Amino acid sequence: MNILLAGDLAAAEFDLWHRELARALPHDRVLRARHEASAESIEAAVVANPPAGSLQGLPSLRLIQSLWAGVDRLLADPSLPHGVPIARMVDPAMTEAMVQTALWATLALHRGFFAYAQRQREQVWRVHAQRRADELRVAVLGLGEMGRAVAARLAAQGYRVSSWRTRGARRAGAGAAPGVSLAEGAPAFLPLLAESDIVINLLPLTEATRGLLDARAFAAMPRHAGLVNLARGAHLVDADLLAALDSGHLRHAVLDVFTSEPLPHEHRFWSHPQVTVLPHAAALTDPRSAAGIVAANMQALREGRAPSFLVDRSRGY
């Protein structure tokens, strides 16, 4: 089977992916470019933010496999072939990386380690009060694989964890993790925020979730609450967050994702003392494990079985 690798990746990263995919798919041919084979012979594409139009004119295409978990950018390409199934990347190694980032951010907000870093810069030696984990209420927005895993791990550390999802997100069998309460739908959103010391966003980006983290949401959160955005920059209204931090209402934000990436130099997030900026690094796809997951989906395709983690285009994830 001819499989096209297409993506907006640095050369070294492209090479790494090509090597790992070729190793995981020894009986297939992984193409680095369309001209390496006839358009008619390409049956699958493995993509990472492919340039718009990359997948047009491939009449035999039967599967588009994303290397990233989020497919909002892929789906925004109007030239994406209709009717071809799209699979998201759900890699346990990537999920675990996201859990690590969420746990690190939660511990840092809970125990005030960002505040201690600021005091170090000012050479101030001062201890602040210490709360137990069971005195911290953490809301995890989004109940996909990552949201569920994050909520479960935080609950295991003793935090009081609630999950939230949009009503439309209900799927059979996908309840909250043990020890994690569940709220659903728009009417439950602000009341949940009102009872959360830390809010972690792991929602997919859809029309229902775009701009959800706005002035209204921040006003609902308790004074000195913290925000962790690990999903998409467009979930967040930047100016509203800056206003909530500047007024002293919110204490700190950890942001991994931004409306424009890399984050432009003039953006206030870079230098704001209450903002931690990460370069979209909360959870990288690990080519070593992800290549095996791609191979399993290609095998399913070959055998006529349904690939795993298919995207529902009408839902947007």
Q: Which residues are catalytic?
A: 232, 280
Pick from 125, 178, 303, 312: which binds its own copies (CB under 8 A)?
A: 125
The least distance separating its own copies from the CB of residue 117, rounded to whole angstroms, comes to 7
Looking up tokens 């309460």 gives: 181
The least distance separating its own copies from the CB of residue 122, rounded to whole angstroms, comes to 9
Token representation of residue 42: 């390409």
- For 220, counting Cβ atoms within 10 Å of its Cβ (0-12 exposed, 13-18 middle, 19+ buried), the class is middle
Q: List the interface residues with its own copies, window 81-100 (CB under 8 A).
A: 93, 96-97, 100
**Residue 103 interacting with its own copies (CB under 8 A):** yes
Say if CB 202 and CB 208 are below 8 A apart.
no
Pick from 276, 297, 298, 316: which binds its own copies (CB under 8 A)?
A: 276
Among residues 192 and 236, whose Cβ is nearest to its own copies?
236
- Give helix 92-111 / helix 287-302 axis angle, nearest 10°: 140
The least distance separating its own copies from the CB of residue 288, rounded to whole angstroms, comes to 9
- Give helix 11-24 / helix 287-302 axis angle, nearest 10°: 50
**Residue 280 interacting with its own copies (CB under 8 A):** yes
CA torsion sign, 11 to 311 to 308 to 90? positive
**Residue 300 interacting with its own copies (CB under 8 A):** no
**Residue 158 interacting with its own copies (CB under 8 A):** yes
DSSP helix/strand/coil, 116: helix
Among residues 39 and 104, whose Cβ is nearest to its own copies?
104
H-state helical runs in 90-220 = 92-111, 113-121, 145-156, 189-194, 215-220
**Residue 14 interacting with its own copies (CB under 8 A):** no
Residues that bind its own copies (CB under 8 A): 93, 96-97, 100-101, 103-104, 107-108, 110-111, 113, 116-117, 119-120, 123, 125-128, 130, 132-133, 157-158, 261-263, 265, 270-271, 276-281, 283-284, 286
